[in-house]
């Protein structure tokens, strides 16, 4: 049975500091949603509220048709994987995995059988009688995962589960997590500060800042069509230029940027959202060329990226970063134009 998780107008505070402001979120049945953001953005608080380790000041938390808001943590039936793994150091791997089953009143034999099966499923067959202290980081992570999965919870939650592993293992484990979550069809909430991790395993990602969700969308949408400057900056648009539409120029809109330079954006490629707006681009989205319709620039330091050259460029609007083709290396000091590629740039409404 898969159910959805609903947070409805949840607010929370530590003492006088508000950490969550009227947050609403729905994780669909069988869906994996990540909460992504820098530390202090409220993602872990959200998870702890759902787990029942914190109580909200306002709002409701529902899992399917069960209202969790006032339920104590131990009655919520949620599988949770901790950043620190939180394995019980005094119990063997098998007993760690069996802990939740014991709380559910399973007899010793049934418990050992079921826990043993799960230990096998996460690939730790030979380690059932070991203590956590004698396991590697990756093995501990698997035990934590097995322990959360074996109780067959309607909701799985992960609190930065991979941040204590090395890079290679991190990639393997996230694939493993996604595989197991898919196989069980369990609804899941995943907290991380690692963008690549969140994008790679989630159905949808919520990018959070200062206790609010800035955008909740599929990774592809977030990556290419951020809804605001915060998200654009977060997903790596390193050029964010304020611009103003000043005139019509045939089939194009003429816009002026800071420093006075103007640029014509053809209507067929661009939709200007308002008179004042933000132009957002990654280095890949600004092509360095000798001539064309673009932002005039004087080239500075050139670095080699493997697939392209990257240039620091002096422009009337300040220093911008842009890429140029390997076939036409240009030297520092040359003048050039930076041509925006409509596929890889966004025009965002200006922030008020």
Partner 1 sequence: MRRRIHPALVGFAALVFLFLLGPLVIILGASLSNTTYLAFPPEGLTLRWFENAFEISAFRRTMVTSFSLATLGTLLSLAIGIPAAYAMARYRWHLPRFLGNVFVLPVLVPEIVLGFALMKSVATGLDTPIYTTLLVGHALLVLPYCVRVVGASLAQFDFSVEEAAVSLGCPRWRAFFTVVLPNIRGGVIAAFVLAFITSLNDVSISIFLTGPGVSTLPIQLLAHMEQFFDPTIASVSVLLMFVTVVVMALVERTLGLTFLAR
Partner 2 sequence: MTDRRLAWALATPALLLVALFLGLPILSTFGTTFTTDEGVFATYEAFFTSRFRRAVLWRTMEVALITTAISVVIGFVTAWVVARAPRNVKSLLIVAAVFPLLTGVVVRSFAWLVILGRNGILNGFLEGIGVIEEPLSMLYTQGAVIVAMVYLFVPLMILTLVGVLDSIPEDLTDAAASLGATPVATFRQVVLPMAVPGLIVGAVLVFTGSFTSYATPQLLGGERQMMMGTFLHQRAMVTFDWVGASTIAAIMVVVTLSTVYAMSRLAQRLNPVAG
Q: Is 12 in the site for partner 1 (CB under 8 A)?
A: yes
- Min dist CB 56 to partner 1, Å, is 8
Q: Is 274 in the site for partner 2 (CB under 8 A)?
A: no
Q: Which stretch binds partner 2 (CB under 8 A): 67-75, 168-176, 217-225, 303-311?
A: 67-75
Instruction: Give the 3-state secondary structure of residue 311.
Output: strand
- Min dist CB 10 to partner 2, Å, is 19
From partner 1, partner 2, none, interface partner of 104 (C-beta below 5 to 8 A by class): partner 2
Report yes or no: 296 and 335 within 8 Å, Cβ to Cβ.
Answer: yes
Where is 216: in which H helix or E strand?
A: strand 212-217
From partner 1, partner 2, none, interface partner of 86 (C-beta below 5 to 8 A by class): partner 2
Alpha-carbon distance values, 303 to 32, 72, 310, 339, 343 (Å): 39, 56, 5, 19, 24
Where is 221: in which H helix or E strand?
A: helix 219-224
Report yes or no: 166 and 139 within 8 Å, Cβ to Cβ.
Answer: no
Q: Which stretch binds partner 1 (CB under 8 A): 8-16, 61-69, 93-101, 107-115?
A: 8-16
Q: Is 104 in the site for partner 2 (CB under 8 A)?
A: yes
Sheet holding 212-217, edge to edge: 78-81, 155-159, 187-192, 32-36, 204-209, 212-217
Instruction: Quote the DSSP letter at residue 73.
Output: G
Q: Which stretch binds partner 2 (CB under 8 A): 23-31, 81-89, 170-178, 266-274?
A: 81-89
Instruction: Quote the DSSP letter at residue 343.
Output: G
Of 88, 125, 247, 251, which one interacts with partner 2 (CB under 8 A)? 88
DSSP 132-180: GGGS-HHHHHHHHHHHHHTT--SEEEEESTTTTS-HHHHHHHHHHHHHH
Q: Which stretch binds partner 1 (CB under 8 A): 53-61, 206-214, 275-283, 325-333?
A: 53-61
Q: Is 74 in the site for partner 1 (CB under 8 A)?
A: no
Of 38, 55, 58, 73, which one interacts with partner 2 (CB under 8 A)? 73
Contacting positions for partner 2 (CB under 8 A): 51-53, 72-80, 82, 84, 86-90, 99-100, 102-104, 131-133, 147-148, 151
Catalog residues that contact partner 1 under the rule CB under 8 A.
12-14, 53-55, 57
């Amino acid at each position: 049975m898969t159910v959805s998780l609903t947070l409805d107008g949840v607010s929370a505070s530590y003492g006088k500091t508000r950490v969550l402001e009227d947050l609403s979120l729905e994780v669909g049945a069988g869906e994996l949603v990540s909460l992504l953001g820098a530390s202090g953005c409220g993602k872990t608080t959200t998870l702890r509220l759902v787990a029942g380790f914190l109580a909200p000041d306002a709002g409701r938390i529902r899992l399917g048709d069960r209202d969790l808001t006032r339920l104590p943590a131990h009655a919520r039936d949620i599988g949770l994987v901790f950043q620190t793994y939180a394995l019980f150091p005094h119990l063997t791997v098998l007993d760690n995995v069996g802990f939740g089953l014991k709380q559910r009143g399973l007899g010793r034999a049934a418990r050992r059988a079921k826990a043993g099966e799960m230990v096998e499923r996460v690939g730790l067959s030979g380690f059932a009688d070991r203590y956590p202290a004698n396991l590697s980081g990756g093995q501990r992570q698997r035990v934590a995962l097995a322990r959360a999965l074996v109780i067959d919870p309607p909701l799985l939650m992960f609190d930065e589960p991979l941040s204590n592993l090395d890079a290679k293992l991190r990639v393997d484990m996230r694939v493993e997590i996604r595989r197991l979550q898919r196989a069980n069809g369990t609804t899941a909430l995943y907290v991380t500060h690692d963008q690549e991790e969140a994008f790679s395993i989630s159905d949808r990602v919520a990018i959070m800042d200062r206790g609010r969700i800035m955008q909740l969308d599929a990774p592809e949408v977030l990556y290419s069509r951020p809804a605001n400057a915060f998200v654009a900056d977060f997903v790596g648009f390193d050029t964010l230029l304020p611009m103003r539409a000043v005139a019509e120029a045939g089939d194009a809109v003429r816009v002026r940027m800071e420093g006075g330079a103007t640029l014509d954006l053809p209507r067929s490629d661009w939709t200007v959202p308002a008179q004042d707006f933000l132009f957002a681009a990654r280095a890949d989205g600004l092509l360095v060329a000798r001539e064309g319709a673009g932002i005039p620039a004087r080239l500075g330091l050139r670095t080699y990226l493997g697939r392209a050259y990257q240039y620091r460029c002096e422009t009337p609007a300040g220093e911008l970063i842009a890429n140029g083709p390997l076939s036409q290396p240009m030297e520092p000091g040359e003048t050039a134009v930076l041509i925006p590629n409509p596929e890889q740039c966004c025009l965002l409404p200006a922030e008020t």
